[in-house]
Structure 1
Amino acid sequence: MGDLSKRELKITNRHSGRATCKEREEKFKLKEGQVRFLIVCEGKKTEPNYFKAFIENNTSVVHSEIQGVGMGTVALVKKTLEIKRDLEKKNAMKFDRVWVVFDKDDFEDFNEAIKEASRCGIQSAWTNESFELWYYLHFEYLDTAIGRKQYIEKLENMFKDKMRDGSFKYEKGASDIYDLLQRYGKEEFAIKSAEKLRKSHKGKGTNYAKHDPCTMVDKLVEELRSPSQYKEE
């Protein structure tokens, strides 16, 4: 413990009284109406780490599978269908909700991926342009289109200010990002800001590549917060 940094020590202390996944599953396994989530992410660490920590902190979600596969847009949708088929066959069970999480980046098939996911019954937690937009909305509303590098710079500066720590460095894939957002940001504000952004693009139709900035991550977050209403019969 003596070798932990101040940042790591804070997170360790906050997790010390938290139930493990196995303990939570034992606690909730006899309850009806549980929802099984499959969440497949473009990134291998950033998005999976965020959602895994989210579920660790929201005990109403017990049964979930979260994977980061390192591919985006249409390729991600196809991979998700493959993962869903294999896991359901292996475990003799059905996922109630299936989500893909991806950014626009430089992909030219962004709109096509959203359409294909919908056609296959998969929900899309997409962001234009970068997943870090969702993080930044925990602090301030942002309706200016900027690049991925700028999102990271703005997010890093925001944390430096909130933490009063000029040495803070934002690291993609950091395992403690959810905890930091909960400690220094406001999730409810992020949800309202995401909704406001979507309304600002209402006149642009389904050309989501032009909805910049915009995110649907809040939709997945809200499902994870209140999963029982999405249980399929």
Structure 2
Amino acid sequence: MVRRITQKKRGVKTRKEKKLFILGLEGKNETEKNYFMSFNPILKKARIQCNVSNTTDPVGLVNDLIKLKKNELLEPDDTICCVFDADTEPYKEKQIQEAAKLANTNKIELIISNPSFEIWFLLHFIYTTKYYDNKSLIDDLKAYVPNYKKSGSIFNDIKVDTEKAIINAKRLDEHHNQQNKTKYLDRNPSTDVWKLVSWISNEIN
């Protein structure tokens, strides 16, 4: 549980030094959690905490974070993000649109990967605009990480190419913007993870 403020004598509240990145994650696998928690040992000015949810729909994930915000003592500079996969099912578009409105109202950042988080890993190796489903994406990733498993961690193997991945992800955003793609499911492949990683990286030094 998040406890940022401690009570001292005469009701004086003091803040702990490190800011928090609170990440709402889907609970179906540990890929995202393993990756982001690997940043903690090298962070000097911040700490990452994962809030793993039993739900997998975007609206449910955002609602879980809203409840957390109401029940926990947080600081204004803490960053709260909802991290999830767009997948490829058509019904997901409406859910994401609803989640985006809810998140915006409650100052929660959406970090969406299309079709899945593995596109962020793949962008450490190549830039591609190829359309992916979940299986074909993992197949292509295994060309570079043969022993890849969703529940494992490849953070140490790819961290040296983080800047390359950020550049490739930004390039993908520009590619979709040039084609005026506004629907989340149309932006395949893409990932917002580069934004979160950039914010986290600012707290390393």
1:94 aligns with 2:66: no
For 1:181, the equivalent position in structure 2 comes to: 158
Structure 2, unaligned stretches of length 5 or more? 1-14
**Deviation of residue 83 (structure 1)?**
2.1
TM-score for both structures, normalised by structure 2: 0.80
State the AA in 2 paired with 1:102.
F
Counterpart CA distance in 2 for 1:72 and 1:125 is: 14
How far apart are 1:111 and its partner, in Å?
Answer: 2.6
The structure whose residues are more often helix, as a share, is 1
C-alpha distance in structure 2 between counterparts of 1:31 and 1:68, whole Å:
23
**Aligned residue number for residue 103 of structure 1:** 85
- CA shift, 1:76, in A, is 0.7
The equivalent residue for 2:103 is 117
Indicate conservation of the 8 Å contact 1:77/1:117, yes or no.
Answer: yes
2:69 aligned residue: 84
CA distance in 1, matches of 2:67, 2:31: 22
Determine whether 1:134 maps to 2:120.
yes
RMSD across aligned C-alpha pairs, in angstroms? 2.3
Partners of 1:111 and 1:205 lie apart in 2 by 14
Could you tell me which runs of 5 or more consecutive residues in structure 1 were left unpaired when the two chains were aligned.
1-29, 161-168, 229-233
Opposite residue 55 of structure 1, the aligned amino acid is N
- Partner SS state of residue 124, structure 2: coil
Say whether the 8 Å CA contact 1:55–1:224 is kept in structure 2.
no
Instruction: Determine if the alignment matches structure 1 residue 68 to structure 2 residue 52.
Output: yes
Match of 2:183 among 184, 207, 212: 207
Q: How does 1:213-224 map to 2 (within 5 A)?
A: 213-224=189-200
Distance 1:207 1:48, change over 3 A: same
**Aligned counterpart for 1:40 among listed residues 24, 37, 59:** 24
CA shift digits 1:133-185 (9 cap, x unpaired): 0000000011111111111111112123xxxxxxxx211121x3211222xx6
Give the whole-Å Cα distance in 2 for the aligned partners of 1:139 and 1:111.
Answer: 30
Question: Equivalent residue for 1:57?
Answer: 42
- Superposition deviation, residue 112 in structure 1: 2.4
SS of residue matched to 1:209: helix
* Partner SS, residue 204 of structure 1: coil
TM-score normalised by L of structure 1: 0.71
| Structure 1 residue 227, shift from structure 2 partner | 4.0
- Counterpart CA distance in 2 for 1:115 and 1:127 is 18
Cα offset, 1:114, TM superposition: 2.4
Q: Which has the higher strand share?
A: 2
Q: Which amino acid in the other structure matches residue 192 of structure 2? A: M
Give the 3-state SS of the residue equivalent to 2:125 in structure 1.
Answer: coil
Q: Give the corresponding residue for 2:135.
A: 149
Task: Answer whether contact 1:138 1:186 (CA < 8 A) is retained.
Answer: yes
**Contact 2:100–2:110, Cα closer than 8 Å, also in 1:** yes
Q: Return the offset for 1:213.
A: 0.8
Letter in 2 for 1:143: T
Q: 2:35–2:155: 8 Å Cα contact kept in structure 1?
A: yes
Aligned-pair CA distance for 1:65: 2.0
